[in-house]
Amino acid sequence: MTDTGKPLLRVLQGEAVWPPPLWLMRQAGRYLPEFRALRDKADFITRCMTPDLATEITLQPIRRYAMDGAILFSDILILPWAMGQSLEFVQGTGPVLGAIRSEADLARLDPRRVPDATAPVMETLSRLRATLDGPDPIGAAQGGKVALLGFAGAPFTVACYMVEGHGSRDFEATRGMAYANPMLFDRLMDMLTRATADMLCAQIDAGAEAVMLFDSWAGLLPPSQFRRHVIAPTRAIVQEIQARRPGVPVIGFPRLAGIMAAEYARDTGVKVMALDTGTDMAAMAGQVPPDLTLQGNLDPLLLLAGGEAMAAEARSIRDAMKGRPHVFNLGHGVVPPTPPEHVGELVRIVREG
């Protein structure tokens, strides 16, 4: 059930709240000493798949900063891993997957494995929800005011890693496959679209109160491909969630979408648009319905820099959105060298109202 007492949920549902609630993408991460301490205990996938560890890591930034939202500690690549694709997070390199380049590669994936393989993630979510909404022995519940967010990668961005086999600046193999072998690419996208909707519904059943779709590489696509591989699958996922779990807000994040962001907002049905650092929030606000919530979009490098420059820009973003539904956040994730005290300072500034 939706708890209307949570400021973040109220805003995600389209209400203007002042000062704006906030959370930060990658708020649990390497910039926190308490995260690094746990990091040495287990590899990344083990941390995601061990409810004790994933719960603890998710709550670390809540305890420290009393954020308005707790985002599940997991990764967008857990879905392909759960379907059977090999995945390893290599120190200094990032994710390495067994690249999908042929029908035979695709045939080795099995979405029916996902519910069992992701059961620990769902267990983490239910523990988190019980902790956040329960009595507060560990100082993480903040009086039942913290909303729990689930997430997935959007199909295009997940396909980028699945086809390429690793991170990339331009994901040439992936975009090349979409043009040269559209049958294969569409089959992969359809598989991901269905599996993502199912997994997000399972996250909601386990306790997530809103879900976010990270489409980090959406901006690589020209408009026709953007409509086909970003807008269409996102719309399908949003419709599925609306039909099966009505009322749960979906946050879309089509990073670097530029001028296509307004079309995304109009055509996907997302309740909330997360904006990247390069987007003028006030200009975007003028192009979308007044009850569409905007989320963002301080430059993570200003959070790294801190000081007056950060304070001024944070106030300017917050004040420009006054009177409309706005969730304060960054335009992309916290970068690892960020001093933790800068995050504390940002939270103080946003809440000074």
Return the residue of 95, 249, 252, 331 that touches ligand CP3, per CB under 6 A. Answer: 95
Find out whether 144 and 65 touch, Cβ atoms under 8 Å.
no
Candidate list 2, 14, 15, 39; residue touching ligand CP3; CB under 6 A: 39
Report the alpha-carbon distance of residue 163 to residue 225 in Å, rounded: 17
Q: Interface with ligand CP3 includes 347 (CB under 6 A)?
A: no
| Interaction of residue 56 with ligand CP3, rule CB under 6 A | no
Residues 306-345 that bind ligand CP3 (CB under 6 A): 333
Beta bridge partners of 212: 151, 251
* Closest CB 314 distance from ligand CP3, rounded Å: 19
Residue nearest to ligand CP3 (CB): 216
Answer for which of 65, 73, 81, 328 binds ligand CP3 (CB under 6 A) is 73
Contact by Cβ (8 Å): 72, 153 = no
Active site residue 255: no
Report how many residues bind ligand CP3 under the rule CB under 6 A: 22
Which of 10, 31, 68, 161 is catalytic? The answer is: 161
Using CB under 6 A as the binding rule, the residues of this chain from 238 to 257 that contact ligand CP3 are none
**What is the rounded CA–CA span in Å between residue 96 and residue 166?**
5
Q: Which of 9, 12, 32, 71 touches ligand CP3 by CB under 6 A?
A: 71
Q: Which parts of 8-27 interact with ligand CP3 (CB under 6 A)? A: 25-27
**Beta carbons of 343 and 298 less than 8 angstroms apart:** no
Shortest Cβ distance from residue 42 to ligand CP3 (Å)? 10
For residue 31, indicate whether it is catalytic.
no
Q: Which of 39, 101, 228, 266 is catalytic?
A: 39
Q: Tell whether 244 is in a known binding site.
A: no
Find, among 236, 228, 299, 223, the residue nearest to 262 by Cα: 223
Q: Is 265 annotated to bind ligand?
A: no
Q: Which of 12, 32, 54, 76 binds ligand CP3 (CB under 6 A)?
A: 76
Q: Indicate which residue of 68, 75, 198, 276 is catalytic.
A: 75
Ramachandran angles phi, psi of 70, nearest 5°? -110, 120
Q: Is 280 annotated as a binding residue?
A: no
Clarify whether 113 is annotated catalytic. Answer: no
Is-catalytic flag, 324?
Answer: no
User: Judged by CB under 6 A, does residue 231 bind ligand CP3?
Assistant: no
Binding mask 119-158 for ligand CP3 (x = CB under 6 A): --------------------------------x-------
Annotation marks residue 3 as catalytic: no
Place of tokens 């560890």: 53
Q: Which is nearer to ligand CP3, 89 or 311 (CB)?
A: 89
Whether 351 and 47 have beta carbons less than 8 Å apart is answered as: no
Beta carbon nearer to ligand CP3, 216 or 293: 216
Per the annotation, does 166 bind a ligand? no
- The only residue of 2, 34, 89, 311 in contact with ligand CP3, by rule CB under 6 A: 89
Nearest to 146 by CA among 169, 130, 167: 130
Residues annotated as catalytic (active site), given as ranges: 26, 30, 39, 75, 161
Known binding positions for substrate = 26-30, 75, 161, 216, 332
List of residues contacting ligand CP3 (CB under 6 A)? 25-30, 39, 44, 71, 73-77, 89, 94-95, 151, 167, 214, 216, 333
State the binding site.
26-30, 75, 161, 216, 332
